[in-house]
Amino acid sequence: MICGVCLKESPQLWQLTDLISVSFQAVGLCRHCQRKFHFLKEENVCPACCRRQKNKTCCTDCQKWRHFYPEKAPHEALLVYNEALASWMESYKFRGAYHLRFSFAQNIQQALSKLQDCVFVPIPLSPQRLQQRGFNQVTGLLAGAGLPYTELLVKSAETTPQSQRTRQERLQLPQVFQINPRITLSCQKVILIDDIYTTGTTLVQGQKALQQAGFQVVKTFSLAR
């Protein structure tokens, strides 16, 4: 296996599950690089958004959401957004290191495969952003994990990136997501997926668009929180 982060080759101990998932074994994460990332553990997170904290009570962010949008679906995240994740994301998303879609493939596969009676819907990019980046980082992660997904949402015109807005501005944003008119689905249960959960605004906007079209967002999911 070649480590997608440090690009060193490391010997691999094969397990039974690897036989099913050989495709994402070629470019993974070596043990050294793995140690820089922190997986969120259920006992230390907010039960509504997976934010890392010292207890299991609902965090202040989610208490606000309960007030503004009580229907907000529970959120699950895999990793803590730490320095290593930020630098990984910079390479993957902004420097075109598309091979990094395999880094957490097994973890994503494990987390989502238990929800297979639902349709996986990625947060879309606008056409301009997609052309600029060359790929949608969220569909990349799902494809890397060998999971089927449906691009049920589309995003219209590009606006100022979320990261350049204040929290208040983000909460007041107009709807930017629409239902893809070319897709018909019989399943109404949806898991909405993004790469990072920061304020939850993007996922809430996606959830609102889906709910208005009659879909039920069972859960939202992100690689990092």
Q: Identify which range of 3-11, 12-20, 93-101, 191-199 contacts Zn ion by CB under 5 A.
A: 3-11
In the complex, least distance from residue 52 CB atom to Zn ion, rounded to whole angstroms: 10
Residue with tokens 């606006």: 159
Q: Which residues of 167-193 are buried (b: 16+ CB within 10 A; e: fewer)?
A: eeebbeeeebbebeeeeebeeeebbbb
Adjacent-strand bridge partners of 27:
2
123 binds Zn ion (CB under 5 A): no
Q: Which stretch binds Zn ion (CB under 5 A): 2-10, 136-144, 199-207, 210-218?
A: 2-10
Tell which one of 30, 121, 138, 209 touches Zn ion (CB under 5 A): 30
**CA–CA distance, 176 with 154 (Å, rounded to integer):** 8
Of 30 and 192, the one with the shorter C-beta distance to Zn ion is 30
Q: Which of 39, 57, 40 is nearest to 48 (CA)?
A: 57
Q: How far is the CB of 199 from Zn ion (least distance, A)?
A: 11
3-state secondary structure at position 186: coil
Q: Which is nearer to Zn ion, 62 or 100 (CB)?
A: 62
Closest approach of Zn ion to the CB of residue 9, in Å: 10
Cβ atoms within 10 A of the Cβ of 15, count? 10
Question: What's the min distance (Å) between Cβ of 188 and Zn ion?
Answer: 26
What is the C-alpha to C-alpha distance for residues 204 and 201, in angstroms, rounded to an integer? 5
Residue 18 CB, shortest distance to Zn ion, in Å, is 18
Shortest Cβ 196–Zn ion spacing (Å)? 15
Q: How many residues bind Zn ion (CB under 5 A)?
A: 11
Binding mask 32-51 for Zn ion (x = CB under 5 A): -x------------x-xx-x
For Zn ion, the closer of residues 28 and 206 by Cβ is 28
> Which one-letter amino acid corresponds to residue 76?
E
Cα torsion at 88, 115, 220, 59 (round to 10°)? -90
Residues at the site binding Zn ion, with contacts judged by CB under 5 A: 3, 5-6, 30, 33, 46, 48-49, 51, 59, 62
